[in-house]
Amino acid sequence: MPGPLVHVGATVACAHMGQAQPTAPNPRVLVSGQPTVTMAAPYVIAGCPFNVSGAPVPCVTAQWVTAATRVTSLGQPLVLMDSQAICVPNGTPLLILATQFRVTAM
């Protein structure tokens, strides 16, 4: 399904509300004046408070597993608002809380 493209300024968090940022923005495609993100770019997560039975197991990084099927840049699919990512080391999802809505893709 079509969805808005995710850009560097989007609000992205792990399921525990740690803040996530892309490690490699895609400068070839800009939306709202900011670089987009490709599926290949992992995210780093800061401030994840997750723990299991008192032992901290915070989200550290995340990798996208789904993205656009018809729109690519530099040979990589672009990340959409409904794309899915898995956090390492605990396997929880990333949540895209806010992004631009002017540019959509499939």
In this prediction the pTM is 0.94
Predicted pLDDT at 55: 86
Residue 79: Cβ within 10 Å count: 32
Taking the C-alpha atoms of 92, 97, 99 and 104 in order, what is their torsion angle to the nearest 10 degrees? 70
The model's pLDDT over 15-71, given as tens digits with 9 standing for 90+, comes to 999 999 999 999 999 999 999 999 999 999 999 999 888 889 999 999 999 999 999
List of domains in the chain: 3-105 (2.60.200)
The DSSP bridge partners found for residue 87 are 62
DSSP one-letter string for 3-40: EEBPBTTSEEEETT--EEEESS-EEEEEETTEEE-BTT
